[in-house]
Structure 1
Amino acid sequence: MAAQLTKKNGNASAFMDVGIATFVVLILAMIIIPLPAPLLDLLLIVNLALSMTILLLTLFTKNVLEFSTFPTLLLLTTMFRLGLNISSTRLVLTEGDAGKVIDTFANLVAGNNIIVGAVIFIIIFIIQMIVVTNGAGRVSEVSARFTLDAMPGKQMSIDSDLNSGLINEQQAKQRRNDLERETQFFGAMDGASKFVKGDATAGIIITFINLIGGTLIYSLQQGMPIMEAMDKFGRLTIGDGLVSQIPSLLISIGSGILVTRSGNAKTFGTSLMPELMSSSKVLYLVSAILLVFALLPGFPTFTFSMMAILLGGSSYLIQQNEKKAQFERITEEQRVLAGERMLQNQSNEETVTAHQVDPISIEIGYGLISIADESKDDNLMNQIHSIRKQCATEIGILLKPIRIKDNLQLSMNQYVIKIKGNVYAQGELYMDRYLILSPGDTEFAFNGIATKEPSFGLDAMWITGDDREMADLQGYTVVDPLTVFVTHLKETIFQHSQELLGRQEVKQLLETLKETHNVVIDELIPDILRLGEVQKVLQNLLKENIPITDMVTVLETLADYGTTVKDIELLTEYVRQALKQTIVKNYLDENAVLNVVTIHPNTEEMLGKNIQKSSSGSIPLIQGNNVTKLFDSIKKIHNHLEAEGRPHVLLVSPKIRPSLKNLLTFNFPEIAVLSLNEVPNEIAIESVGMVEDIAI
């Protein structure tokens, strides 16, 4: 059955391709071959029906990508109309007749007065040329520029959503594909809008040619009185121009509708009425103004009064709906608060165990209660579930449930993230606004609330929903409040994952792994190492952003070296060397090259000679001025490479790696320090800098 459907679809596609090619060839044939009047009538009706179809399709289109063939279709319909113009001109000039359709249009519009018909034709041309075509062309031009400028920010937003787990790989690919198609569409529309403008210009020129040429041919060559010739060909010219310009006007309007559509996934009619009738106050005011006009002398009292009554009744109904919606919202908020109070009362009756601090918890102000509303599809509880799955797959820890509770001591928009009862991160959210990140400079062209993006400390601003579309068009990265919070929560968890890995969590990991690798676990614990010692090694790995997803390799390495080595720091180094493929891949550039910053041999020798062991790890004890020189040199190189956007690591000898990392942790936590033993032989290395000799 599937094969049959595929075959049928393939046949249909081939048939459509042949049909379109035939249509294009027929357009070219119309320019050369004369058409009889009945066939011309049929083609004119087809042109009018096609124009109406295109206009209505633009009204029912939810997204420009649903009509992505519109720019090419615009060119084909333009050529089709010009071909019909040429055919009708040939009939008018050779036979003095262009069929019933053109004749009927002429008599319907002009009637007994050819001047009226000419005026109406000129007005239609002016409307299309000056109003519709110019406006649609300008919108196409601006949309193309803004869409292209906004493309990097949108791609970063897609990558951010993918990294935070809000979308999967397939959804990310689809969104990138849609973004590329949308950019191509607006770029094509920027050029295709010129077709409509050229078509209108060509139509008016052909109209004057018909009038002048027909009058001269039939008055000078065939002896028809000049006034009779002007009347006859004036009507035919008006009819021919209207039959051409009306379909052109319809497609111009469709073009304008399509390029001015916003990014909502609704049809024009579906989105228009809720927005037009969104405020009862506006309708009340308009009703009052119309009522004033009804009372003024000279105005049609009945008509103005009926319209005022109609708007007043509509505004009353809208006001009742607004009150109902507000009541339902307040009721829902009270229900959520009541549920939280009930949970809090239940917890007060539990044992002392329930009063122990949570591994990780979230406290929110009363203005953010809606973020945890489980009745909504996109709520914080669902996002936390995704984060817990990400922690398991990306860094290898099993995160316990995260408690969410309100805190009246916080401001209404404030939240805090606590780990073991201590505040590790905090920020503010505005549920009725959106956070924008500048694509380059820090000057924001909006009136909003200036702030810092909580996860990465970037300059940002909270803007209203009315400015969201304009910010998107201008290239800003626009993020909703829930995404801002979820990203901050995820980054906080990843940065402090080592503090969330206790002995209980390690035991759960080992029990899960024991089903498939019980031999290495039974050998290692407790005969070689205790559970707490394994935990400390895992914490050391997480502290330097090394995932522990490959637990088998970690445990086997500890089993190999644990019999002779009891130093946790040294055991960690052995494990790091075993995980070198996992470690290095996070720091390679787009060419799979590892950019390294080395240390001057004299400096490395000085550090190696002054390593001091302590309970918190080894550290080089050198003079303060030498520490300052070392930090200044590293900072200079690091800032330079960061400005160039080049990923890099500090590559040192295995002897000083742990002590140097401990020394740099507080000043340069983002700099990865790798030893030579942690770089696989097949990885290409490029030296991009050297820390100066501080021993001078």
Structure 2
Amino acid sequence: MKRLTQLGVPVGIVLIIVMLVVPLPAMVLDLLIAANISGALVVLLTGMFVRRPLDFASFPSILLVMTLFRLALNVSATRLVLADGYAGKVIDTFGHFVVSGSLVIGLIVFAILVIIQFVVITNGAGRVAEVGARFTLDAMPGKQMAIDADLNAGLIDDDEARRRRQEVAAEADFYGAMDGGSKFVKGDAIAAIVITLVNLIGGFAIGVGSKGMDLGEAIHTYSLLSIGDGLVSQIPALLLSVATGLVVTRSTADEDMGTDIVRQLTRHKMPLRVAGSGAIALCLIPGLPKLPFLVIGGALLLAGSRVDESEPSAAADAESAPAVPQDTPEQLVADIQVDPIGLELSADLIDLVDPSAGGDLLDRVKALRKKVASDIGVVMPPVRTRDNLELPMKTYVIKLFGVEVARGEAPPGTVLAIGEYLSVLPGTPVKEPVFGLDAKWIPAELRAQAEIQGITVVDRASVVTTHMADVVRTHAGRLLGREDVKLLSDVVKQTHPVVVEELLAQLSLGEIQRVLQNLLDEQVPIRDLVRIFEALSLRARETKDAEALTESARGALGAAIVQPYVSDGAVHVISFEPQLEQRMLEALRPTEEGTVVAFDMETGQVVLTELARLMVEAENQSVHPVVACAPQLRGAVRRMVQPSLGRMPVLSYRELTGSAQVRSVGVVTGRLSSVGAAGLLA
């Protein structure tokens, strides 16, 4: 069956082409004319029963095929009329019975059908199709942005967003095709007039010149056949024109056209009562027949008396009236909630999220969510993207929980050039927002020239996405909520139920969340949750201190934590002199935020200054070092170096064991002179 459906239409089109050049017997022509009229009727009824235009998306193609089929029948009928003076029973019947054998009646009926089709229906349907195509194309960017906004807000999933985008694209394609398809109908009406005139003139010439008929006989014979052929063609053409108008004027609804029309016309009592009373009042006009108006008026009054408009009107009002916000506690709570991540764009950056202008920022943000999940093991919350007219031009702002955490610029019509030799390019010098590299916003048309000179060029959407990725990774601990921890534990439970059950028997979700947040704050991925949970289960038997639990989890992840810092097969380490490390252990003091090294200000400044000097020396040799210390000190050292040295990683000796070769790039002694320390800090 599937094979037949695949071959049916192509074979049919080939046969239509054959009909244009191969004469058909009158019996076959009768059969095809009947098929043409029946097919047009099926198309018309299908157009009435669809609930939305896209349910009949193949209509433009059907319209073209049916038009070609009808023109092929015209050619075949013309060939028989001119050659034999007979074109089958159907055309003969239309020429004699339908128009009562009168040339004048036939011409008038044919002219009326052509005027109805060409002037009224075809022009109206063509105009509606043209306007519908224009409005649909103009509305595409807004519809796509609404879909992306719903997706970013988490209201729909990727599959639903993909389905809606395909529907928007299909709708645009449909109305564009209908705009062209309506021209087929208009051209077909013109062709019908021309073909009928050719048949009349050609028939007269052949009848008088070739077959020896007198003028009256030739006119009677060929005019009736020509008019019959024209009527046979115009009836299905009129049906298709009506179907075109029905489809392009059909709005999306939950019911078919007949149900919608009856339900909407009979929704209210008053219009039916007034119409019925008006029809009965016409009986007062002298000379008008009273029975038809009495019957129609009585039927309208009866229909009006049976309409129950209470429920339909209430439902209609509920559908048409905008929802009135209720001051319920639930509504107020929903209004005051803030988005975990927000991206605000100035007015001139809207093109970044407009697909019609080539903007793909929303697609990149969706890809970023997948990238973050695969890199650090955290499900990034949906990003709410919106415009902010209060922002300065060319500015974007990244917010976490409604608070601005990062801001940048992405001037329209430019790209960001990063690298050396930027002075040869025009543009605005800036700092790259993530790594602080020297950069310059240059005109987009100079991109190729900059790349030839070995300069890295990044488009605006990539700059914004990279900046957002950096913000998310930096603040991943803040973004990890209690519900996220529950979701992650449920995922692990599907494959390792014993691990999760044992862990939850000893620690609450809040305590697990605190440990995972500590790991994320130090840029440690939490993808390997099985080993993290196993380590926490073992250590939780002894203590529930978050810092101790974090160190146990880090010990289980050892090699994975060190891997990002391995260069040329080795980890480059800055360590502390044993005597200094012993003093630091003795100076450990517990606080609410964890243990700290309680050095006096001068000693702490000396240690930090020497760390900074060793780090700069290593980086000047293209080496990215880490600080290594005893496991008991690691958390306290991290808190000590974070304010001044930022992202400098601090690892414990246990994490370095067996992971890679360890190379020392310096040892902190803590014995710098006060003068030297002050000079270095300056």
Which TM-score band applies after superposition, normalised by the shorter structure?
A: 0.5 to 0.7
Q: Give the alignment partner of residue 253 of structure 2, picking from 264, 267, 272.
A: 264
Q: Give the alignment partner of residue 415 of structure 1, picking from 318, 331, 345.
A: 331
> Does the alignment pair 1:517 with 2:506?
no
Q: CA deviation at 1:147?
A: 2.9
Q: Give the alignment partner of residue 223 of structure 1, picking from 197, 200, 212.
A: 212
- Paired residue total: 457
Q: CA deviation at 1:500?
A: 6.2
Q: 1:281 to 1:658 in 2, by over 3 A?
A: farther
The amino acid of 1:415's aligned partner reads: Q
Q: CA deviation at 1:262?
A: 1.3
C-alpha contact (below 8 Å) 2:276/2:297 kept by paired residues:
yes
Q: CA deviation at 1:20?
A: 3.0
Looking at both structures, which has the greater relative contact order when contacts are Cα pairs under 8 Å and sequence separation is at least 6? 1
CA distance in 2, matches of 1:271, 1:47: 29
Residue by residue over 1:538-579, the C-alpha shift from the partner in whole angstroms, topping out at 9 and shown as x without a partner, is: 56789999998875465578799999998969969x97x979
Q: Give the alignment partner of residue 74 of structure 1, picking from 63, 86, 103.
A: 63
CA distance in 2, matches of 1:546, 1:458: 34
Q: 1:172 to 1:297 in 2, by over 3 A?
A: same
Q: Give the alignment partner of residue 129 of structure 1, picking from 118, 123, 126.
A: 118
Task: Give 1:335-350 correspondences, 5 Å limit.
Answer: none
Indicate the SS of the match to 1:21. helix
Quote the residue 1:45 is aligned against.
Answer: 34
CA distance in 2, matches of 1:278, 1:496: 55
Q: Give the alignment partner of residue 297 of structure 2, picking from 308, 319, 328.
A: 308
CA distance in 2, matches of 1:518, 1:103: 86
Task: Give 1:126-165 correspondences, 5 Å limit.
Answer: 126-162=115-151
Residue by residue over 1:355-374, the C-alpha shift from the partner in whole angstroms, topping out at 9 and shown as x without a partner, is: xxxxxxxxxxx9667xxxxx
Residue by residue over 1:124-166, the C-alpha shift from the partner in whole angstroms, topping out at 9 and shown as x without a partner, is: 1111112222222222223333333333443444445555565
The amino acid of 1:147's aligned partner reads: T
The amino acid of 2:92's aligned partner reads: D
Q: CA deviation at 1:525?
A: 6.3
Q: 1:568 to 1:48 in 2, by over 3 A?
A: same
Quote the residue 1:98 is aligned against.
Answer: 87
Cα-Cα RMSD: 5.6
User: Unaligned stretches of 5+ in structure 1?
Assistant: 1-11, 331-365, 370-405, 427-436, 441-453, 461-493, 583-612, 619-651, 664-672, 679-694
Q: 1:89 to 1:323 in 2, by over 3 A?
A: closer
CA distance in 1, matches of 2:524, 2:255: 45
Q: 1:279 to 1:566 in 2, by over 3 A?
A: same
Indicate the SS of the match to 1:417. helix
CA distance in 1, matches of 2:482, 2:142: 33
Quote the residue 2:270 is aligned against.
Answer: 281
C-alpha contact (below 8 Å) 2:489/2:500 kept by paired residues:
no
Q: CA deviation at 1:29?
A: 2.0
Indicate the SS of the match to 2:253. coil
Indicate the SS of the match to 2:267. coil
Quote the residue 2:282 is aligned against.
Answer: 293
Residue by residue over 1:633-668, the C-alpha shift from the partner in whole angstroms, topping out at 9 and shown as x without a partner, is: xxxxxxxxxxxxxxxxxxx999999999999xxxxx
The amino acid of 1:322's aligned partner reads: S
Q: 1:131 to 1:546 in 2, by over 3 A?
A: farther
The amino acid of 2:185's aligned partner reads: V
User: Unaligned stretches of 5+ in structure 2?
Assistant: 340-349, 355-382, 390-475, 562-589, 597-623, 628-636, 652-680
Q: 1:44 to 1:325 in 2, by over 3 A?
A: closer
Q: 1:323 to 1:261 in 2, by over 3 A?
A: closer
Quote the residue 1:60 is aligned against.
Answer: 49
Indicate the SS of the match to 1:91. helix
CA distance in 2, matches of 1:556, 1:293: 91
The amino acid of 1:264's aligned partner reads: A
Task: Give 1:502-541 correspondences, 5 Å limit.
Answer: 515-517=497-499, 521=503, 534-538=512-516
Q: 1:42 to 1:157 in 2, by over 3 A?
A: same
Q: CA deviation at 1:504?
A: 12
Q: 1:540 to 1:309 in 2, by over 3 A?
A: farther
C-alpha contact (below 8 Å) 1:64/1:259 kept by paired residues:
yes
CA distance in 1, matches of 2:558, 2:47: 57
Quote the residue 2:229 is aligned against.
Answer: 240
Quote the residue 1:20 is aligned against.
Answer: 9
Single out whichever of 652-661 and 63-72 deviates more from structure 2.
652-661
The amino acid of 2:45's aligned partner reads: L
Q: Give the alignment partner of residue 113 of structure 1, picking from 102, 127, 140.
A: 102
Indicate the SS of the match to 2:201. helix
CA distance in 2, matches of 1:314, 1:169: 49
CA distance in 2, matches of 1:418, 1:557: 39
Residue by residue over 1:26-62, the C-alpha shift from the partner in whole angstroms, topping out at 9 and shown as x without a partner, is: 2222221222222222221121121112212222223
CA distance in 2, matches of 1:79, 1:498: 64
CA distance in 2, matches of 1:560, 1:213: 102
Q: Give the alignment partner of residue 183 of structure 2, picking from 186, 191, 194.
A: 194
Q: CA deviation at 1:240?
A: 0.8
Task: Give 1:582-661 correspondences, 5 Å limit.
Answer: none
Q: CA deviation at 1:101?
A: 1.0
CA distance in 1, matches of 2:290, 2:284: 7
Indicate the SS of the match to 1:415. helix
Task: Give 1:477-516 correspondences, 5 Å limit.
Answer: 515-516=497-498
C-alpha contact (below 8 Å) 1:498/1:540 kept by paired residues:
no
> Does the alignment pair 1:207 with 2:229?
no
Q: CA deviation at 1:303?
A: 3.2
CA distance in 2, matches of 1:247, 1:418: 57
The amino acid of 1:416's aligned partner reads: L
CA distance in 2, matches of 1:288, 1:144: 42
Residue by residue over 1:504-550, the C-alpha shift from the partner in whole angstroms, topping out at 9 and shown as x without a partner, is: 9999999999942269849x968xxx987655445678999999887
Quote the residue 2:172 is aligned against.
Answer: 183
Q: CA deviation at 1:180?
A: 3.6
C-alpha contact (below 8 Å) 2:102/2:224 kept by paired residues:
no
Residue by residue over 1:332-368, the C-alpha shift from the partner in whole angstroms, topping out at 9 and shown as x without a partner, is: xxxxxxxxxxxxxxxxxxxxxxxxxxxxxxxxxx966
Residue by residue over 1:231-274, the C-alpha shift from the partner in whole angstroms, topping out at 9 and shown as x without a partner, is: 32221111010011111111121122122221224221122211
Residue by residue over 1:386-438, the C-alpha shift from the partner in whole angstroms, topping out at 9 and shown as x without a partner, is: xxxxxxxxxxxxxxxxxxxx74xx8xxx921179xxx5469xxxxxxxxxx99
Q: Tell me the TM-score normalised to structure 2 length.
A: 0.54
CA distance in 1, matches of 2:149, 2:131: 27
C-alpha contact (below 8 Å) 2:486/2:509 kept by paired residues:
no
C-alpha contact (below 8 Å) 1:510/1:521 kept by paired residues:
no
Single out whichever of 101-110 and 281-290 deviates more from structure 2.
281-290
Quote the residue 2:358 is aligned against.
Answer: none
Q: 1:536 to 1:509 in 2, by over 3 A?
A: farther
Q: Give the alignment partner of residue 24 of structure 2, picking from 35, 59, 72.
A: 35
The amino acid of 2:73's aligned partner reads: L
C-alpha contact (below 8 Å) 2:478/2:517 kept by paired residues:
no
Q: 1:167 to 1:518 in 2, by over 3 A?
A: closer
CA distance in 2, matches of 1:222, 1:511: 95
Q: CA deviation at 1:105?
A: 0.5
C-alpha contact (below 8 Å) 1:501/1:535 kept by paired residues:
no
C-alpha contact (below 8 Å) 1:657/1:674 kept by paired residues:
no
Single out whichever of 234-243 and 286-295 deviates more from structure 2.
286-295
Q: Tell me the TM-score normalised to structure 1 length.
A: 0.53
